[in-house]
A and B are shown apart, each in its own frame.
Chain A
Amino acid sequence: MENNHDIDKKFNDASQSAEKPATFPGFDKVWVKVEERLDKKEEKKKVIPIWFPYGIAASLIIGLGAFYFINTKEVVDISKPQVAQNTVSPKVNSKVQVIDSTVKSNIEEEIQSQKVIQKPEVLAYETIIPKAEISPIYHNELPSQSPNNIKENVVYMEPDHDGVLDKDDKAQSIEEVVLVGLRPVKKKSYTSSATSITSTEIVNNKRSKKSKENITSSLSIALNYIKGQINDGYISKTSNIRSEFKQNDNISQALIGKITGLQIVPNPGIPGSSQQIVIRGSSTVNSGNQPLIVIDGLVANQNVLTKLNPQQIKSVDVLKDASASALYGSRASNGVIVVTTKKLSRKERKAIKKLQKVQDSINLSKQIQQNNTEEYDAFVENPFELTKNQSVSTFSIDVDKAAYSNIRRMINNGEIVNKNAVRIEEMINYFKYNYPQPKNDQPFSINTEYNYSPWNPKHKLLKIGLQGKNIPMDKLPSSNFVFLIDVSGSMDAANKLPLLKSSFKVLLDQLRPKDKVGIVVYAGSAGMVLPPTSAKEKNKIIEALDQLQAGGSTAGGEGIELAYKLAQENFIKGGNNRVIIATDGDFNVGASSTGDLQTLIEEKRKSGVFLTCLGFGMGNFKDNHMETLANKGNGNYAYIDNMQEANKFLGKEFAGSMYAIAKDVKIQIEFNPKYVKSYRLIGYENRKLKNEDFTNDKIDAGELGSGHTVTALYEVIPTDVKSEFLPKETDLKYTKNTNDENFNDELATVKFRYKKPDGDTSSEIIQVVKNSNESISSASDDFKFASSVAWFGLVLRNSDLIKNKNLTDIEKLSKKGKGNDDEGYRAEFVRLLETYKTIQK
């Protein structure tokens, strides 16, 4: 104890002596702050009496003018925003009756409200906007983004009180005038629409004869105005509480047990929040399930809500289901809590605004962090190889296109493109090129072109293009598809599960009666939703799809096991057996590392079942997982960022995506040192094979689908050129430097190996590429376009191996190579370039 006393005393003494210095670094700064605030306080006292009478006068004039305006107008112009505030309409009632019996007071109010409707004094009112360009600001106009623009300059006119006005500071910028008719009615907030649209209420006796119908219609007009589209069934469940909050209650505590379905999680483990409010039944238990909170019309943060003095709260409404998102958009997918406060003092309002600002900045930084959870495997560009040392280069084909749609999504969203998301071969292969169909029995035709490189006129490019055989739809073998769908919590976003469902419907449209579809889903565990069903019963399949909902963790490994099991049980010999996995790639239960997944999928590959990976979503996208699965699992991989992409991959290119005509397609190329001093393969970094693997049939390689094209580009440094990119030569003592005179005109020899889809042994095709010295102007459109895509990819990767990174040059080249662009994908690429240019600025 003595010791303790010592410490106390020590610190006490220390603090005594520390208090002596009269000044400190921020001394003057603090005084300025204090002075400012004291000045402000005085100003307020003085200013109020000055503007007050003017404000009253101005509002009166505007109010009367507006009143006149309404009277002269017979028909309500529905193109003008009308704010409807009424009690429950009959249409709503049937649904509202679902209200939980626990909220007794609520129901009582509902009954009262019905009575109100039956009286002739129907509620309706008009909103007038003096300045046409300023529309009234509603809750869903993102006030959180620009809180300064929100002015609550609502003027209430209550004739009963001889036009006594109550309003905000800036009377001159009135944006909304609400007229109160002859009979003010106490404000009630029964329905979602009522509270959210306005905080005022008017009875207009003039319109009293018009029936309930009128109310319903004006209500929906208001809703439509907010939503921008017509949408029925917006109101489902509303709970309203207006209990007397106890003095020391925190608002969120006060809500405990008062509203069914509202859960207060005491310690959710999320930094920065001590409590979490969750509306049950709308979303998952895990991530991002906080409801939207609206305080007096402004979107607020939950922390702001908890700071609110409960005694200041007039009412709290909780909206769930469709009503919430109908009014507040997708942000409200977890429900909405609408809080109406009693009149807040200016100081309190300011405090809320300030708090909200702080919270917004915190949220912003959190969001930025979240955006960084996308995962891409890093890879290094292929270097230039000296033909003298290594004349042979081997790689596996890659028909995937995911990288391009993913990059397109990033650029269109104005995001920074992750270098490792740029796989140039997938960008080039996104586009179709005009190669001739194969002759004879070969599954593909081979097309080569050799011309000058656009980014370095000293270098040349060798383009190798494969064109897969087009198999007509009716000749395609029957299919056994298993949809493996990720329904974990991470899929719960508009651009994930809903897009996924629509995408699968596109695919279903392509199926024939002889095809079968089974559905396996996985979240915390995996389960079969639909046993293999003939595509004849499309409705049954669509129904099963529509019932899917997202929630829980992601046991991807288990899902893959089950899907392959189902596919194997229903294996069609000589048919097309394929698992189609749709996910954001975020596996977090069981096999979850890329290594684990690779082992799993390599095992599954042996079953003869093919794989298609469809990537969805962003922010948490795990590209590395998807790429691994597709590469190692006899598969292909597409990133579906929108319906257009779904249509392309699953609709138009359905056959190519879903029917392999050759598997394990490998390309080996041997360059002639006579013409080629050095070369490098552009892209295909993760598809490179060892030279000895070319003839090893056990080594997996890429699949070629019906009608697919695959294009690869080699950048070549010819022998007679001096280039700064040339690797250093080491003099070789034993290798002959002279060339065999026999192959004088040959640039390279390309060998292809492939297996039939159900075969185990490979066939080989050999093609010789002649050296040529054509000028760049004779290059084909395809050559120009493919090289411009590669160029853009190199710029996105910030490659060390090119010098000219001028985006305008790329744009020019791609425009020249646009050629016949029926489907507009090349034009889209040009647009993407333009967008990227503006981002770069």
Chain B
Amino acid sequence: MEKELLLECQRNDRNAQRKVYEKMAGKLHSVCKRYLKNDEDIEEVLADTFYKIFTKLNQLQNHDIFEAWARKIAVNECLQKLRSMKALEISLEDDLVESTGSPTDSISFEKDILKLLNFLPEGCRAIFNLFAIEGYPHKEIATMLSISEGTSKSQLNFARKKLQELLVNHNI
């Protein structure tokens, strides 16, 4: 991301903000999509995320890491949303929630596989995302979600096991 553009954003230049939005929206949307099922929730969180990005941009000292920073905001907003939905009360007894999306009707292999995430309960799905895709260590995940490290680990294993099963079941 060009530093110029970000500086203009800081000055609240709507055109610059629009450009940044165009560049980032797709990426952050797919981040949110990994955590949330409902399109409305995703859009709401995405709007929150961009609002935060544009209003807090002056607090970001190193513009080189803008993208990682924006992504982190998105992840945090998603977690906050899940928290407000009380979806993060993780319990192992939770049965797998059947999602409405059918994994067979999509366009590409990559999309297919991500849709499988919809079959996981929110809490354990978030943990899998944070660990496997965002690359956070268990320790950090535990603090982010205010759970114990052990829970984080066992939830991750649970998620992997379920995803494995799902992969086999759907012949992917």
Across-interface contacts of A3 in B (CB, < 8 A)? 160, 164
Shortest CB-to-CB span from B75 to chain A, Å, is: 12
B14–A35 CB distance below 8 A: yes
A12–B132 CB distance below 8 A: yes
As a 0/1 sequence over residues 2 to 35 of chain B, the CB contacts with chain A under 8 angstroms (1 = contact) are 0000000000101001100111011101110110
Compute how far the CA of A17 lies from the CA of B112 in the bound complex, rounded to whole angstroms. 12
- Given A38-B12, A38-B54; A30-B23 close (CB under 8 Å): no
As a 0/1 sequence over residues 37 to 67 of chain A, the CB contacts with chain B under 8 angstroms (1 = contact) are 1100110000000000000000000000000
B39–A26 CB distance below 8 A: yes
B26–A15 CB distance below 8 A: no
8 Å CB contacts to A: which residues of B89-125? 89, 109-111, 113-114, 117
Residue B142 CB within 8 A of the other chain: no
Count residues of chain A with CB under 8 A from any CB of chain B: 33
Main secondary structure of the interface of B (DSSP, over half): helix
A34–B113 CB distance below 8 A: no
A19–B27 CB distance below 8 A: yes
Other-chain residue from A4, A8, A14, A22 in contact with B110 (beta carbon distance below 8 A): A14
Across-interface contacts of A14 in B (CB, < 8 A)? 109-111, 113-114
B114–A15 CB distance below 8 A: yes
Residue A24 CB within 8 A of the other chain: yes
Residue B82 CB within 8 A of the other chain: no
B25–A24 CB distance below 8 A: yes
Main secondary structure of the interface of A (DSSP, over half): helix
8 Å CB contacts to A: which residues of B35-52? 39, 42-43, 46-47, 50-51
A7–B160 CB distance below 8 A: yes
A34–B111 CB distance below 8 A: no
Residue A287 CB within 8 A of the other chain: no
Residue A132 CB within 8 A of the other chain: no
Compute how far the CA of A3 lies from the CA of B160 in the bound complex, rounded to whole angstroms. 9
Residue B139 CB within 8 A of the other chain: no
Other-chain residue from B51, B55, B113 in contact with A10 (beta carbon distance below 8 A): B113
Across-interface contacts of A42 in B (CB, < 8 A)? 12
Residue A31 CB within 8 A of the other chain: yes
In the complex formed, the residue of B with least CB distance to A355 is B84
B51–A34 CB distance below 8 A: yes
Across-interface contacts of A274 in B (CB, < 8 A)? 86, 89
Shortest CB-to-CB span from A519 to chain B, Å, is: 46
Across-interface contacts of B39 in A (CB, < 8 A)? 25-26
Residue A11 CB within 8 A of the other chain: yes
Other-chain residue from A17, A19, A22, A30 in contact with B43 (beta carbon distance below 8 A): A30
Other-chain residue from B43, B55, B109, B113 in contact with A11 (beta carbon distance below 8 A): B113
Compute how far the CA of A31 lies from the CA of B55 in the bound complex, rounded to whole angstroms. 15
- Given A18-B30, A21-B26, A38-B54; A13-B43 close (CB under 8 Å): no
In the complex, 18 of the A-B residue pairs with CB atoms within 8 angstroms, ordered by the A residue number, are: A4-B157, A10-B113, A10-B167, A11-B113, A11-B114, A14-B110, A14-B114, A15-B114, A18-B114, A22-B25, A23-B26, A30-B47, A33-B43, A34-B17, A38-B14, A38-B17, A42-B12, A272-B86
Seen from chain A, the residues whose Cβ lies within 8 Å of a Cβ on chain B are 3-4, 7-8, 10-15, 17-27, 29-31, 33-35, 37-38, 41-42, 272, 274
Known: A7-B160, A20-B26, A23-B26. 17 other contacts (CB 8 A): A10-B167, A11-B117, A13-B110, A14-B114, A15-B30, A18-B114, A19-B26, A19-B27, A22-B22, A22-B25, A23-B25, A24-B26, A31-B18, A34-B51, A37-B47, A38-B54, A274-B89
